[in-house]
Amino acid sequence: MKNKPIKKRTHNYKKHIGKAPGTLVYTGVKTEKLLHIESFDYTKETLNESILTNIEDAKIHKSTDSVTWINIDGLNSINEIENIGKQYELHPLVLEDIVNTTQRPKIDEYDDYLFIVLKMLYYDNDENIVIEQVSFVLGKNYVLSFQEAEGDVFDTVRERLRHGNGRIRGLKSDYLLYALIDAVVDHYFSIIETLGNKIEDLENDLFAGNTRENINIEVQQLKREILKVRRAIFPLREIINRIEKGEHPLIYKRTITYYRDIYDHLIQVSENIDIYREMIWSLMDMYMTTISNRMNEVMKVLTIMSSIFIPLTFLAGIYGMNFEYIPELKYKNGYFILLGVMFVLFIGLLFYFKRKKWL
Amino acid sequence: MKNKPIKKRTHNYKKHIGKAPGTLVYTGVKTEKLLHIESFDYTKETLNESILTNIEDAKIHKSTDSVTWINIDGLNSINEIENIGKQYELHPLVLEDIVNTTQRPKIDEYDDYLFIVLKMLYYDNDENIVIEQVSFVLGKNYVLSFQEAEGDVFDTVRERLRHGNGRIRGLKSDYLLYALIDAVVDHYFSIIETLGNKIEDLENDLFAGNTRENINIEVQQLKREILKVRRAIFPLREIINRIEKGEHPLIYKRTITYYRDIYDHLIQVSENIDIYREMIWSLMDMYMTTISNRMNEVMKVLTIMSSIFIPLTFLAGIYGMNFEYIPELKYKNGYFILLGVMFVLFIGLLFYFKRKKWL
Amino acid sequence: MKNKPIKKRTHNYKKHIGKAPGTLVYTGVKTEKLLHIESFDYTKETLNESILTNIEDAKIHKSTDSVTWINIDGLNSINEIENIGKQYELHPLVLEDIVNTTQRPKIDEYDDYLFIVLKMLYYDNDENIVIEQVSFVLGKNYVLSFQEAEGDVFDTVRERLRHGNGRIRGLKSDYLLYALIDAVVDHYFSIIETLGNKIEDLENDLFAGNTRENINIEVQQLKREILKVRRAIFPLREIINRIEKGEHPLIYKRTITYYRDIYDHLIQVSENIDIYREMIWSLMDMYMTTISNRMNEVMKVLTIMSSIFIPLTFLAGIYGMNFEYIPELKYKNGYFILLGVMFVLFIGLLFYFKRKKWL
Amino acid sequence: MKNKPIKKRTHNYKKHIGKAPGTLVYTGVKTEKLLHIESFDYTKETLNESILTNIEDAKIHKSTDSVTWINIDGLNSINEIENIGKQYELHPLVLEDIVNTTQRPKIDEYDDYLFIVLKMLYYDNDENIVIEQVSFVLGKNYVLSFQEAEGDVFDTVRERLRHGNGRIRGLKSDYLLYALIDAVVDHYFSIIETLGNKIEDLENDLFAGNTRENINIEVQQLKREILKVRRAIFPLREIINRIEKGEHPLIYKRTITYYRDIYDHLIQVSENIDIYREMIWSLMDMYMTTISNRMNEVMKVLTIMSSIFIPLTFLAGIYGMNFEYIPELKYKNGYFILLGVMFVLFIGLLFYFKRKKWL
Amino acid sequence: MKNKPIKKRTHNYKKHIGKAPGTLVYTGVKTEKLLHIESFDYTKETLNESILTNIEDAKIHKSTDSVTWINIDGLNSINEIENIGKQYELHPLVLEDIVNTTQRPKIDEYDDYLFIVLKMLYYDNDENIVIEQVSFVLGKNYVLSFQEAEGDVFDTVRERLRHGNGRIRGLKSDYLLYALIDAVVDHYFSIIETLGNKIEDLENDLFAGNTRENINIEVQQLKREILKVRRAIFPLREIINRIEKGEHPLIYKRTITYYRDIYDHLIQVSENIDIYREMIWSLMDMYMTTISNRMNEVMKVLTIMSSIFIPLTFLAGIYGMNFEYIPELKYKNGYFILLGVMFVLFIGLLFYFKRKKWL
């Protein structure tokens, strides 16, 4: 794994400072693309799918009996968003939150509609986690969804709407909202699965004794990814919990079982994230002890080599001296006796280290 | 202990993504085995035990007054499970949860029945912890239980049903459910006992000064096992707590004392797991300090050997020089005087290290 | 302190697995001793103390107006316990809990009686902490107490009963229960005082620079002791809190002040335990830094010795070479000049290390 | 980054000790500047902006129907503050809190007014975080704001008041208070953005392997900054939460949506701070492992050099001895054979270290 | 800073064990001093200050309309305390708590009076923190205060009573109690200020690179002081919170604002203590990394010296050998060529270490 350069200064809260509340400031990535608006209008029997080119058309379905899903991709056309806001009589703060993509997942209950912000997570082509904000407005008979850019996780919902053989076409807008959120939450599982695999890979590397220095950095990056994902996912639990309590008139009792199902999934995802977090901390610990073990091994080699040869060298030094009178030097077998002594010393030290379990 | 290879990619959440809610996807291990369905139908006086070969037979006992336990082993026959679901009028999400074995333990209360998912833990022949999902549906006069595979912890319940001398035959389906859950929880104790023994073994190894490198890995694996067990067991507390509150009409007041007993057991298990967790962290700490102590010892040997012999070797080196005029070399006893000096130095350094408590 | 061998496999949850609920299985230490039953029956004016040899006698005082304390030592006579249970109409699960000595401290409220399990802590003759389970049954006009073995902390209560000059003889069974629990809790203080002293001893050793290797093990054992004590004591707080709320008809308003006093004591004990826990963690930290400091010191000695003498030895080596033409060797004072150079080098290096504050 | 000297003894709680409650003691920085009082008095149609030179004028707008904002800069003129307090009938403790700049953010509800203390955060010219206390008194038709010194974050509010085209001029004093608090909270975002950038800079330095010693100190200082900011910001959440509940008659239902918006912002800020905190701890960990890795590398070089050359030197020492009879010395090619042996040894050791992956 | 010896065995819980509840056992320091009782009896107009020599006099003011403060210094005269207790009809457990100076801060509500125990903190002449227990009994028209020894923090209250120009003389006993507690809490600020300064001093030492070994011990002692202070102060929050709720008839609504003010102060103190705690942990971390950095530096010096001179010494050793035929020795400039080679090697290694950034 190559260390990906860390993108800097990606958050830009500052833009917003000092604006009056309700001022729309888009904080996401600016693209040249225009707004892309698609609309699904359906009853149990009929389906009307279209691409809206004229923003004014968005309002057509507002007061019909059929259920309408209007999906808006691209949030940098502030004026158009404001326009839609007026058609659907949204509170200025709602519009501000829709275009402010640094928004934390949240739910705001208004008399006529529910406003929900959440984060859609998926991997882009470079295996980076992309966090895209999606806002939903659930009204009587309609759901509006706002995304930062085209490309989403809703294709399965579109298919189900088109085929019309499931539950979805026969139920109300609250079930449509459920289906959309469920699609988002389902993708969380693939995110945490990939995270889990990355952790296992690192762990296996460490178990195999691999202590390359940038494991350090990889662990750090994984930690940050988990923090990022955690932050995007955790607040959603509370939101679904609020919906599930079923106190808002737009949520029918029949659908609540389904929301509870999402809630269970979110608990499961959260639990996994927390386990991964603990495992990552464990990995760091393990890495540290592995390094220390290595150091120990290095030190032992040094100590053994030095402790054996430094005394021997000293002995050789003694008989390398040039004193006029060193009796041993005259012995016929002095040299061999000394070699013998050295050998005994050598063996003795080996034994000593053996007994200390350093060999 | 040989390091067991870590099985990878064992979770497969992905399969499910994009399916409509209520779609049954079996996420457990596929086996060739067909469904195995056994049925116990009893009153205080009679017991009718049978193996059902025809799924349609499952419904027979549904509306009788006798209590019926239908136990289904094997969840990969999606159609049959769906069939049973229809006979007992289970909600599609219930069926989805039954076959999705990555489900978190949970309880769902429906008007006519209680749906409970929990995890059965036991050791397989290789001493690995097996986590098998068991789902219960408690209805008036019946309990359905769904297991991933044959082999379970319910034999003691079967025996008590057969002998009929205990409380169980005389009470309702809520007591049967209690007996089944109690059997599962009783096995948790043997799991945590084994975990406790493993921790004590590791601790004794460390106390005995054993610092083999893969203690590191063993500790890590034990940590993961504890995390795994914790995750399987902890949510059950909340479930039993919900049952114990006794608000569901299917739970009779008389049985609640028994559920409270399970609850106490679960608290005890949970407490043990948390203590083990803390002990494991402690072990890591202790391992780290042991390694550091070792390193210290190694360093001391190196330092003592070097500090003693390097200066002596230097002295020998001095008198090994070939200068034409080195007066000491001419002294008759120069050699012996030098040896004396060296000896004094040697003793002096030994004293020094003694005083520093390095010897 | 000698390291005590850690007793292994002391918990034996397994015995119980698969038994029907309400089956009595004694999990404590088996002794040959028979049951020892003592009985105190008193009113303000009279006291009747006796040893019961016949279990049937236990029931005599059940329905009298006088207050009766029946204390049962030894729980391995399952049959006798069951017998007593029948006489006092105790729920089977209560009896199961009485003989299961791995029980967590708990309170169960029944219509006619309160059932309380707690842990009595004291030091045995080898200064080991003994944790003995005591169960109380508080009924109208009687208190039953069940202990694993003879020898307890209730002698002061017995004295007060005999002398009859205090409050105890004039009040009801709820005050007797208070007096008994109070005696248990009072002993907790002596346990934590000993723990506190052990921590202070260790701390003083560390402050004095004592880093013997088995401090490691002593700290670890202390940590485990604290965990053990904590686990025995903490749940009691909740129990007393429940009693103190005074919702059970057997607890009179007048006595509640006394239970609140126990509660305050328990909070104080708990707080001390948590402080000890934090101090122990601190000690480990301190031990680690002390080791590191030591290592640093060792390294400095090695580095100074090596850095000074290795270059000097090199110089001596140069002039020990046998080249035919080494001009310096011919200089009359070559030897002394070299010694001078070496001396200057020596002083220079000493200064260098002085400036680095290594000396 | 140069290490900024840490200012010492900046807190001065002591001044206050022993004074009667309600005694005004200014604890901020004493400046020579006099009080600076500005007043905005407005309705939807009119705006009256003025600088008050006479304190008595402050009271003029108290009972008019127009909304009045009186902003007081400089709190060391105790007498004038007391004077204003009397005019607006503020409780003595309120005045004490206004001038005590070590006050924790808090809200006090009185019958006629709300008293709120919070902290304004901004960077001064030296990029140090300045924490300035701002107190608000919200009354019917008026808002008083007290600041330690001139210079604040309210210019955008002043502008909106002057232009009068937004919501602000048409609404009540509760909306004005919202606008002021919102301006303060908006500035929190720029603080945490700068903190985030600092952390990323440090992280990149560490990723790039930069381990300069004072990274240590920089991390420490960043930690303290985060603690400081956290402490200034966190209590505000609770305050806004209290306002948002809308139980005080001075807060109109219409404005509550706006306060909830501030609350969402504060949650977001808090979450960021906690993430930064976790990241900082991570950085320390990473720094530690980086240091250990470095040490390992250093040790390896030492060990390799020593282990190779110490044995070789020993060999050379052997044949440097002056024994009369050392047969090898007479061999014609003894020297070259020895060089060969040494070379083989050298290569062998290199291989050994290669296999150990130390090279 | 010299390390103060740690006083051992200062807690003496044991004395109390086995006594009947309500038995008075004084656990503080025994002094020869007799009881010192002072009394303030006042209305808005009159003040009667006196030293009571006769304990019986204490009761005089009990039923008058004037407010009376009776302050008792010295708790080892058990009999006198009991005497006072009888006069004021205090519960035996209250008297037990008054003389038991290891009591945790607490509040007990009785029908006729409030009993409050808290801890007075101040520095003695040796800059040690003294923790003295103060107990208050608040009755209708009187406040009793019990201190372990003479010397307290109430002089400012005495002054205010004597001068009578403040609020205090005109209000009831609940305000007097407030004034006394406020005086205690005000002194907490000076304690935490001193702690803060100590932490800053340590931090500056560490920033300046000072790593003397006993920083370790100083940090440890500071940690313990913080633990001690924390434990004395934290429970008070809950106590004031209870008073502030204003449910006891002796606390008038008018005074509650003042108690809330104390509560705010306590929150501030607590927050500071927790910040100090976190900072201390940080310091330990920083100390550890500083030590590691030092070690790294030491290792580098060793490695550089060894790696340079060991190979050179080997070379010198080669040409110090006594082989009969070593051709290089005969070369005219062999010596100088070798010196050149050595010099090149020396420079090369220097470059190598330079490139590794070790120099």
- Residues of D in Cβ contact (< 8 Å) with E318: 316, 339
Q: How many CB atoms lie within 10 A of CB E56?
A: 10
Identity of the residue in C271, C286, C314 whose CB atom sits nearest the CB atom of E104: C271
Helices (H), chain E: 78-87, 92-99, 155-163, 173-207, 215-244, 253-318, 327-330, 334-355
Length of chain E as a residue count: 359
B265 closest CA partner among B241, B286, B285, B242:
B241
User: Sign of the CA dihedral D136, D142, D148, D154?
Assistant: positive
In one-letter notation, the amino acid at residue A108 is: D
Edge-to-edge strand list for the sheet holding B106-109:
B47-52, B36-42, B67-73, B142-147, B129-139, B113-123, B106-109
8 Å CB contact of D299 and E295: no
Identity of the residue in D166, D207, D267 whose CB atom sits nearest the CB atom of A3: D207
User: Are the C-beta atoms of C58 and C84 separated by less than 8 Å?
Assistant: yes
A258 closest CA partner among B83, B17, B97, B242:
B97
- Residue C290 is predicted with a pLDDT of 85
8 Å CB contact of A13 and D182: no
Report the complex ipTM: 0.78
- Main-chain dihedrals φ then ψ at residue C223, nearest 5 degrees: -60, -45
Question: What are the pLDDT digits (tens) for C46-93?
Answer: 898 988 887 777 777 777 789 999 999 888 788 888 888 888 899 989
Q: D301 and chain A: CB distance < 8 Å anywhere?
A: no
Identity of the residue in E186, E197, E317 whose CB atom sits nearest the CB atom of D320: E317
Virtual torsion, Cα A346, A348, A354, A358, nearest 10 deg: -50
pLDDT: which is higher, B289 or B237: B237
Does residue B305 surpass a pLDDT of 90?
yes
- Residues of D in Cβ contact (< 8 Å) with E303: 298-299, 301-302, 305
Does residue E127 surpass a pLDDT of 90?
no
Token pair in block for residue E168: 């205090």
- Residue C8 is predicted with a pLDDT of 36
Least confident of D141-145, D264-268, E13-17, E143-147: E13-17
Edge-to-edge strand list for the sheet holding D129-139:
D47-52, D36-42, D67-73, D142-147, D129-139, D113-123, D106-109
- Residue D9 is predicted with a pLDDT of 36
The CATH architecture that domain A18-289 belongs to is 2-Layer Sandwich (3.30)
Average pLDDT over chain C reads 86
- Residue B241 is predicted with a pLDDT of 92
Q: B357 and chain A: CB distance < 8 Å anywhere?
A: no
Question: What are the pLDDT digits (tens) for B170-219?
Answer: 899 999 999 999 999 999 998 999 999 999 888 888 887 776 767 888 88
The number of helix segments (H) and strand segments (E) in chain D equals 7, 7
- Residues of E in Cβ contact (< 8 Å) with C271: 104, 231
| Dist. CA C251–CA C139, nearest whole Å | 10
| Dist. CA B176–CA B155, nearest whole Å | 13
Length of chain D as a residue count: 359
Question: What are the pLDDT digits (tens) for C167-194?
Answer: 888 899 999 999 999 999 999 998 999 9
For residue C153, the 8-state DSSP code is: S
Does residue B317 surpass a pLDDT of 50?
yes
Long-range contacts made by residues C56-59, C-beta under 8 angstroms, separation at least 24?
Answer: C56/C83, C56/C87, C58/C84, C58/C87, C58/C88, C59/C87, C59/C88
- Main-chain dihedrals φ then ψ at residue B109, nearest 5 degrees: -100, 120
| Dist. CA A188–CA D147, nearest whole Å | 47
Question: What are the pLDDT digits (tens) for C13-49?
Answer: 444 566 677 777 777 665 556 678 999 999 988 898 9
H/E/C letters for each residue in chain A? CCCCCCCCCCCCHHHHCCCCCCCCCCCCCCCCCCCEEEEEEECCCCEEEEEECCHHHHHHHHHCCCEEEEEEECCCCHHHHHHHHHHCCCCHHHHHHHHCCCCCCEEEECCCEEEEEEEEEEECCCCCEEEEEEEEEEECCEEEEEECCCCCCCHHHHHHHHHCCCCHHHCCHHHHHHHHHHHHHHHHHHHHHHHHHHHHHHHHHHHCCCCCCCHHHHHHHHHHHHHHHHHHHHHHHHHHHHHHCCCCCCCCHHHHHHHHHHHHHHHHHHHHHHHHHHHHHHHHHHHHHHHHHHHHHHHHHHHHHHHHHHHHHHHHHHCCCCCCCCHHHHCCCHHHHHHHHHHHHHHHHHHHHHHCCCC
User: Sign of the CA dihedral B308, B309, B314, B319?
Assistant: positive
| Dist. CA A180–CA D181, nearest whole Å | 36
Q: B330 and chain A: CB distance < 8 Å anywhere?
A: yes
Token pair in block for residue B238: 């909340």
pLDDT band at E152 (very low <50, low <70, confident <90, very high): confident
Average pLDDT over chain B reads 86
In one-letter notation, the amino acid at residue B270 is: S
- Residue C206 is predicted with a pLDDT of 83
Which residue carries 């040490």 as its tokens? D295
Does residue D58 surpass a pLDDT of 80?
no
Reading phi first (left if > 0) and then psi (alpha if -120 to 50, else beta), residue C297 is in alpha
pLDDT band at E123 (very low <50, low <70, confident <90, very high): confident
Q: A313 and chain D: CB distance < 8 Å anywhere?
A: yes
For residue E153, the 8-state DSSP code is: S
- Residue E16 is predicted with a pLDDT of 53
- Residues of B in Cβ contact (< 8 Å) with A167: 20-22
For residue C122, the 8-state DSSP code is: E
Chains touching D, CB cut-off 8 Å, 3+ pairs = A, E
Range B135-153 average pLDDT: 90
Identity of the residue in D190, D258, D300 whose CB atom sits nearest the CB atom of A14: D190
- Residue D10 is predicted with a pLDDT of 42
- Residue D177 is predicted with a pLDDT of 95
Q: C167 and chain E: CB distance < 8 Å anywhere?
A: yes
Range B77-97 average pLDDT: 88
- Residue B213 is predicted with a pLDDT of 67
- Residues of D in Cβ contact (< 8 Å) with A316: 314, 317-318, 320-321
Please, which residues have CB within 8 angstroms of residue D315's CB and are 6 or more apart in sequence?
D338, D341, D342, D345
Bridge partners of E221? none
Exposed e or buried b per residue across E18-41, where buried means at least 16 C-beta atoms within 10 angstroms of its C-beta: bebbeebebbbeeeeeebebbbbb
- Residues of E in Cβ contact (< 8 Å) with C182: 21
pLDDT band at E114 (very low <50, low <70, confident <90, very high): very high
B62 closest CA partner among B7, B144, B184, B161:
B144
* Interface size, chain A vs chain D, as Cβ–Cβ contacts under 8 Å: 161
8 Å CB contact of B317 and C313: yes
Question: What are the pLDDT digits (tens) for C190-204?
Answer: 899 999 999 988 888
> What is the CATH T-level fold of the domain A295-355, as seen in this structure?
Methane Monooxygenase Hydroxylase; Chain G, domain 1 (1.20.58)
Q: Choosing among B206, B314, B324, B345, which should be mutated to test the C contact, i.e. which has the most C CBs within 10 A?
A: B314
Least confident of B15-29, B124-138, B253-267: B15-29
Question: What are the pLDDT digits (tens) for C238-280?
Answer: 999 999 887 788 898 889 989 999 999 999 999 999 999 988 9
Residue ranges in chain A modelled with pLDDT below 70 = 1-19, 28-34, 211, 213
Token pair in block for residue B67: 């209590």
D148 to chain E, closest Cα gap in Å: 20
Window 255-284 of A, Cβ < 8 Å to B: 257-258, 260-261, 264, 267-268, 271, 275, 278-279, 282
User: Are the C-beta atoms of E298 and C358 separated by less than 8 Å?
Assistant: yes
Greatest C-alpha distance within chain D? 120
pLDDT above 90 covers a percentage of chain B that reads 43
Does residue E15 surpass a pLDDT of 60?
no
Q: B350 and chain C: CB distance < 8 Å anywhere?
A: no
8 Å CB contact of C320 and B321: yes
* Interface size, chain C vs chain E, as Cβ–Cβ contacts under 8 Å: 160
8 Å CB contact of D186 and A18: yes
Window 46-85 of D, Cβ < 8 Å to E: none
Q: B350 and chain A: CB distance < 8 Å anywhere?
A: no
Q: A209 and chain D: CB distance < 8 Å anywhere?
A: no
Range B151-158 average pLDDT: 88
Does residue C12 surpass a pLDDT of 50?
no
Identity of the residue in E193, E307, E321 whose CB atom sits nearest the CB atom of D316: E321
For residue C214, the 8-state DSSP code is: T
Please, which residues have CB within 8 angstroms of residue B74's CB and are 6 or more apart in sequence?
B31, B33, B34, B35, B36, B147, B148, B149, B150
Identity of the residue in C182, C200, C264 whose CB atom sits nearest the CB atom of E106: C264
8 Å CB contact of C292 and B292: yes
User: Are the C-beta atoms of D159 and D178 separated by less than 8 Å?
Assistant: no
- Residues of D in Cβ contact (< 8 Å) with A328: 323
Token pair in block for residue A27: 């904080």
- Residues of B in Cβ contact (< 8 Å) with A193: 11-14
Domain boundaries, chain B: 18-289, 295-355
Q: E359 and chain C: CB distance < 8 Å anywhere?
A: no
